[in-house]
Homo-oligomer: A and B are copies of this chain.
């Protein structure tokens, strides 16, 4: 199989240690993440050939982000260097009734100010089979919306499978803008994932439909091969349950539900996307696909940072029923 290409923004994340609040922090833990970068790292840890493209300034902090990607085996040859800054966000962990808190400082980052001509899609997609991106990328700037559209069109033209994580971020654009942009991009997609609310926005109609109805509409409207919806109930900052449904145009596949004690709330959806892509590209059965994607993302919640560091073996062990947390000697 060929390379999986991902496109997005990777940011420096700064988090106070443990349960400290921002005003108590004398140190910040540094992580590097972003929706598609997290997908790329997880796929690389699974052993897939995966590349990540973005634009990053030519300074030592951006180099740290690249090094973090390389560390896990992501191919970074298509990262464009230039621009002024790497985007940042500050993330305070939540606990019990206190929610996690994010302060974004990503405006005018190198990728947000990138130009269409920065990316040579022919070259980037050379040898690739799959292209993945999220709804955050087109939201970064008008130019980024065009870059994303360039990418999906080029991917489609070259015969790649295209997947989208709908990922609606209210602080980047409003529902109408999201809805409009995503609808256009979905024309070129084969696989989509998101929450019920995001899927409804993408479809642009319906309000309060149930999961299966939404999945059906989504697949039919955009002639997708697969659509999946993640179902999450959050009880406190550290307690969620988590499952998902896959629809392949003819049948619905429901995954096991996990009651999760959360270590880090960031990156669950990205872990799901990576596991989903892995399972599809590894020719798992449809039921296995949704179980692997759900189990893989469940494990992410037990790890610090944005990325899922689970191996394929670890996920299969959980998916096959061993969620007992027995010490692995």
- Interface of A with B (CB < 8 Å)? 14, 17-30, 59-61, 63-64, 67-68, 70-73, 84-85, 88, 90, 92, 94-105, 107-108, 169-171, 234-239, 258, 260-263, 265-266, 295, 298-299, 301-305, 309-310, 314, 318, 323-329
A234 to B322, CA, bound (A): 11
Residues of B within 8 A of A27 (CB): 17, 27-30
A85 to B63, CA, bound (A): 23
- Min Cβ gap A14→B in Å is 7
Partner of A314, one of B61, B64, B98: B98
A190 to B256, CA, bound (A): 47
Question: Within the oligomer, what is the number of copies of this chain?
Answer: 6
Residues of B within 8 A of A263 (CB): 19, 95-96
Partner of A304, one of B18, B102, B323: B18
A103 touching B60, Cβ below 8 Å = yes
Partner of A95, one of B68, B73, B261: B261
A325 touching B238, Cβ below 8 Å = yes
Residues of B within 8 A of A103 (CB): 59-61
Interface centre among A72, A298, A323 (most CB of B within 10 A): A323
B101 touching A60, Cβ below 8 Å = yes
- Min Cβ gap A312→B in Å is 14
A30 to B92, CA, bound (A): 15
Partner of A64, one of B22, B100, B102, B265: B22
* A18-B18, A71-B67, A107-B84 known; A326+B25 contact, CB < 8 A: no
